[in-house]
């Protein structure tokens, strides 16, 4: 069995409380080797930390999500730094820009996003980026800020195929979500068919971004996305790329390990 990697989910999210224990027990036996579990606000960072302490394949990730920018406290930066410093193996995310959410303040989002992106760069940490309907603003931020030497992830990439070469040049990885199996998401599937193979990753974003009902092997009440849909996400992307599942899984394993590899300071630092 090929090892599987979920590049972006929210396994700590309280909406998964009813199924988390059974999912944790079964995911490893389904071949899951690691999952980047993304906190989104000061209130859920402790849940990510707690999960990472008891589930060995969880990579804990801490970030202020653009939807959570309006509710941030005055001390959010210090709190975030505390989690990054004190939680073993911590990385950065979910951070980003979003003009789709009602009442968005793109200036405040940009300030929070760029501060966190710069933090990831200074520490050369993996970082997960969310972008909805803010591609121009994201491009501007990525051009303005120093970027992590290891690259960065644009999760559930919903941008156009035309924008890909620019993002690739800046060091982007892109993760495919089971949501892109909805028939209306043909443009996203086209973009994923066109990406360089060294930059593709696979995710669930569970409990969000569920696949279409008719293709969902793990339906949950309320239309939630089950973390075990990582298998469907791999199968769907192998189809989109027109390659065998084994070949895709081997490539994604290599990409995931490259993106998340622990970096060691050189002797002169």
Q: Which residues bind Zn ion (CB under 5 A)?
A: 94, 205
Shortest spacing between CB 65 and Zn ion, in angstroms: 7
Shortest spacing between CB 158 and Zn ion, in angstroms: 12
Nearer to Zn ion among residue 91 and residue 146 (C-beta): 91
Shortest spacing between CB 40 and Zn ion, in angstroms: 7
Nearer to Zn ion among residue 94 and residue 235 (C-beta): 94
Shortest spacing between CB 10 and Zn ion, in angstroms: 6
In three-state form (DSSP H/G/I as H, E/B as E, the rest C), the secondary structure along the chain is: CCCEEEEEECCCCHHHCCCHHHHHHHHHHCCEEEEEEECCCCCCHHHHHHHHHHCCCEEEEECCCHHHHHHCCCCHHHHHHHHHHHCCCCEEEEEEEECCCCCCCHHHHHHHHHHHHHHHHHCCCCEEEEEECCHHHHHHHHHHCCCCCCCEEEECCCCCCCCHHHHHHHCEEEEECHHHHCHHHHHHHHHHHHCCHHHEEECCCCCCCCCCHHHCCCCCHHHCCCHHHHHHHHHHHHHHHCCCHHHHHHHHHHHHHHHHCCCCCCCCC
Nearer to Zn ion among residue 114 and residue 208 (C-beta): 208
Nearer to Zn ion among residue 42 and residue 94 (C-beta): 94
């Amino acid at each position: 069995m090929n090892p599987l990697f979920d590049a972006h989910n929210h396994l700590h999210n309280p909406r998964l409380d009813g199924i988390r224990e059974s999912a944790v027990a079964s995911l490893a036996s389904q071949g899951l080797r690691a999952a980047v579990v993304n906190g989104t606000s000061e209130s859920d960072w402790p849940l990510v930390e707690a999960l990472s302490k008891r589930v060995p394949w969880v990579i804990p990730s801490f970030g202020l999500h653009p939807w959570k920018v309006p509710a941030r406290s005055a001390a959010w930066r210090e709190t975030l730094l505390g989690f990054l410093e004190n939680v073993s193996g911590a990385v950065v995310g979910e951070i980003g820009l979003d003009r789709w959410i009602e009442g968005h303040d793109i200036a405040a989002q940009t300030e929070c996003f760029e501060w966190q992106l710069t933090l990831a760069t200074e520490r050369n940490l993996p970082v997960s980026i969310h972008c909805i309907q803010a591609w121009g603003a994201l491009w501007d931020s990525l051009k303005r800020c120093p970027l992590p030497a290891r690259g960065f992830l644009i999760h559930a990439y919903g941008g156009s195929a035309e924008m890909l070469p620019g993002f690739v040049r800046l060091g982007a990885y892109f993760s495919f979500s089971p949501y892109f199996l909805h028939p209306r998401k043909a443009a996203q599937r086209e973009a994923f068919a066109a990406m360089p193979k060294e930059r593709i990753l696979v995710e669930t974003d569970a409990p969000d971004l569920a696949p279409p009902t008719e293709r969902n092997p793990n339906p949950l009440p309320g239309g939630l996305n089950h973390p075990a849909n990582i298998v469907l996400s791999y199968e769907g992307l192998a189809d989109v790329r027109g390659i065998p599942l084994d070949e895709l899984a081997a490539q994604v394993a290599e990409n995931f390990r490259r993106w998340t590899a622990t970096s060691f300071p050189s002797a002169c630092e």
